Amino acid sequence: MTPEDVLQFARERGVKMVDFKFVDIPGTWQHFSVPIRELEENTFIEGKPFDGSSIRGFQTIDESDMLIIPDPDTAIMDPFTALPTLSLVCNIAHPGPGMHKKPYSRDPRYIAQKAEEYLRSSGIADTSYFGPEAEFFIFDNVRFNSANNIQYAEVDSDEAYWNNSRDGSANLGHRMRVKEGYFPVAPNDTLQDVRSEMALILEELGVLVEAQHHEVGGAGQAEIDIRFNTLLKTADNLMLYKYVTKNTARKHGKTVTFMPKPIFGDNGSGMHVHQSLWSGEKPLFYDSEGYAGLSQLARYYVGGLLTHAPALLGIVASTTNSYKRLVPGFEAPVNLVFSKGNRSAAVRIPLTDCPSAKRIEFRPPDPTANPYLAFSALLMAGLDGVRREIDPSEHGYGPVDRDLYHMPEEELREIRSVPGSLDDALNALEADHSFLLEGGVFTTDVLEHFVELKRAQADEIRLRPTPIEFALYYDV
């Protein structure tokens, strides 16, 4: 759309308010709204001012004046407001004259735009496609508190197996056992209509949905698979995906969380990220003669991902809770090898003979990641592998076509693994980040602020006792 198209779109739909959305460093949408009369064609050039010091990871108070610049291509009608409201995703810029406003280096969306430009300038490819599989839980209730003398969290789902003995209201059974939530039909699956409503709203907003289903976690775990798209567009779509799932659930008196591990003993929520490179209309990851149909360029890309995986985890699994999911010996893909059709490997090569569908899947990420930073970092790692011709087989990354979850311990010790904590991942990111700085895609300033923010979160966890520590140590 052009700015003129957006204004016409708004007139045709009787828009009363305009909502400007933008993303902070951790990856959460922020917003403010104005009456429709405040939106003019010039707004897409001059922007609207806001206080950058009040946004996590942005400006200090002495340099707080910032601008949002709406992107006309993101115009949609917000499906959850009572009044007709136009939604626009925005870039961030410094104030300046006319069209010469300087993009803000800490704007995650700007980083994604620079990553796409770096790819085009590299001569390797001109388009990168990303397809995330973001899992989430739909709960009926959540309670948590963290005070000086109180530490607790409680979630509940009517689908959960622990409710089989519930008393005081109708108890109709038909609940899924732990880790048996994959593809059950009703009455066990009670969330079909809620997920379908989420999927259809996404479709109405232009986000194509390939499938929706119950996931392995018995207590309300879900997945809606959205169609792959270019890096920036997919990151925009994933932000919209979170917005739609959370608000649709709330409309039904339920709550959605993208926490990687909200329940002990059941599967966590990951975000497997499918990736491929194209040049014009030509897919670059396919070779009928290669292992699992992979081209040599794709192997180099995989080599870059696996080589830089410890550092990448600081961005793509960026919470302390991420490492409750990424535990060796459990369901998460912590083993740094590649393999065809193997979900126990960090990099899975989906089995397909279709050149246009040939892709690689990086499995350790989770949906707490900022998608703009995560997809950009993955692309930069893959391109570094291509540029340096890092063949994964020559660096001890496989292929390993075996069930790594049941491999003998002595053999498993020979396979490298992802970091075991957020602190370890951030240490790896500090030690290995030059590949992210290529082409000015990431900056040292952005990475320093990101690490500082994440270390502060890790400190919050480190300082607090947890309920299980009382169970283990209270009576020593």
Active site residues: 51, 133, 135, 215, 223, 272, 343, 361, 363
What are the residues whose beta carbons fall under 8 Å from the beta carbon of 424, sequence distance 6 or more?
310
Q: Taking Cα atoms as reference points, which of 191, 207, 190 lies closest to residue 199? A: 207
Q: Identity (one letter) of the amino acid at 253?
A: G
Cα 427 off chain centre by: 21
Q: Is the peptide bond before 187 cis (omega within 30 degrees of 0)?
A: yes
Q: Taking Cα atoms as reference points, which of 4, 92, 109, 104 lies closest to residue 48? A: 92
How many Cβ atoms from other residues are within 10 Å of residue 383's Cβ? 25
Structure tokens at 426: 């951030």
According to DSSP, the residues that pair with 156 across neighbouring strands are: 141
State how far the Cα of 370 lies from the Cα of 235, in Å rounded to an integer: 8
Number of helices followed by number of strands (H, E) in the chain: 14, 18
- 356 touches 285 (CB < 8 A): no
According to DSSP, the residues that pair with 273 across neighbouring strands are: 132, 362
Angle at 425 between CA 419 and CA 429, to 5 degrees: 135
State how far the Cα of 327 lies from the Cα of 325, in Å rounded to an integer: 6
- 265 touches 325 (CB < 8 A): no
State how far the Cα of 380 lies from the Cα of 382, in Å rounded to an integer: 5
Q: Taking Cα atoms as reference points, which of 299, 285, 444, 415 lies closest to residue 359? A: 285
